[in-house]
Amino acid sequence: MSNIKTVDVPHLGGITAGYQMSHPYNDSKPTLVLVNSFTTSSELYRSQYENEELAAAMNLLALELLGHGRTRTKSENFTFWDTAIMNLQGGWITVRMALLAPDKIEGIIPLGTSLDYESERARSLGCWDGPSVLTGSIDAWTSKTPTPDFEPDDQFCDFLIDKGFGKNSDKNVRDFWTKTIRANYKGDEGRRRARMAAVNVRERDGLHGRLFDVTCPVMWLHGTNDAIFSVTDAEQEIKLFVNSPSAQLVTVKDGQHFLSASHPQDADDALVDFVGRC
């Protein structure tokens, strides 16, 4: 059962941020901040909430990105950096958090990500062509007139589920996320949030020049069946954390882009080990 709550954050003129905690906060434990993926919500981490070993080792705090879940802001325009700032009060967001608050972040665990912009370099290494994939949706979700009956169509929902969870994902997973995506982005306000979330992905900035400044341990988890970003790209980018005391890439056989959902036990075991070492 969903346990999403909200808290007000004084950024961008005011943000109401959605979040979940699996158990009451315990100040004797470290806190793992979970950041959801594109057009999902904190429900992406349902398997982690149910893992008692994780709960015994750490606080689990899932924060919903700007434009996602129950997070709302008065500003129609926002960026991944704004989400990182909000969280200090997903892969791209976690690294930005480490850059903005090195005194607070003890380690980061990017999952199935790329730290480049949507570049030809990344595409040549087997990553997706984000601009080509997303531009059609962005154009369709751009309107000068209100769209009170809007909801994401079957094509978008199937795309998100196929690429994130895998084409052979369980019917219950497909039904749940189709319903969730449509509920999160219904109506004119939902369309505008979906559009900006997609614009942020298509037009995000790269972080290669900033990775020198990451000084905490890094454990990068990447599924071998990730349909968005390639293992080859991850193998190159993990080497850019030259000032991290420990930068490790861990691949998970047959893991999908939403790795914590497709292979929760592999992800959870790695999380417990990493947090125990930080």
pLDDT of 15 > 90? The answer is no
Q: Model pTM?
A: 0.91
The secondary element (H helix, E strand) that includes residue 61 is strand 59-63
d(CA 264, CA 256): 11
**Both structure tokens of 64:** 């919903």
Cβ 117 vs Cβ 204: under 8 Å: yes
Count CA atoms within 13 Å of residue 209 on its CB side.
3
Could you tell me the CA-to-CA distances from 232 to 113, 223, 237, 267 in Å, in that order?
11, 11, 9, 20
Question: Residue 264 corresponds to which amino acid?
Answer: P
Q: What is the DSSP letter of 245?
A: S
136-183 residue pLDDT tens? 999 999 999 999 999 999 999 999 999 999 999 999 999 999 999 999
- Give the mean pLDDT of 76-102: 75
pLDDT at 11: 82
d(CA 90, CA 95): 9
pLDDT of 129 > 60? The answer is yes
pLDDT at 2: 66
Alpha helix stretches (DSSP H) within 166-223: 171-184, 187-202
Q: Rounded mean pLDDT of the chain? A: 92
Count CA atoms within 13 Å of residue 23 on its CB side.
18
47-88 residue pLDDT tens? 999 999 999 999 999 999 888 989 998 888 887 777 776 554
235-262 residue pLDDT tens? 999 999 999 999 999 999 999 999 999 9
CB within 8 A of 27, min separation 6: which ones? none
pLDDT of 97 > 90? The answer is no
pLDDT at 66: 87
pLDDT at 91: 58
pLDDT at 1: 42
d(CA 274, CA 271): 5
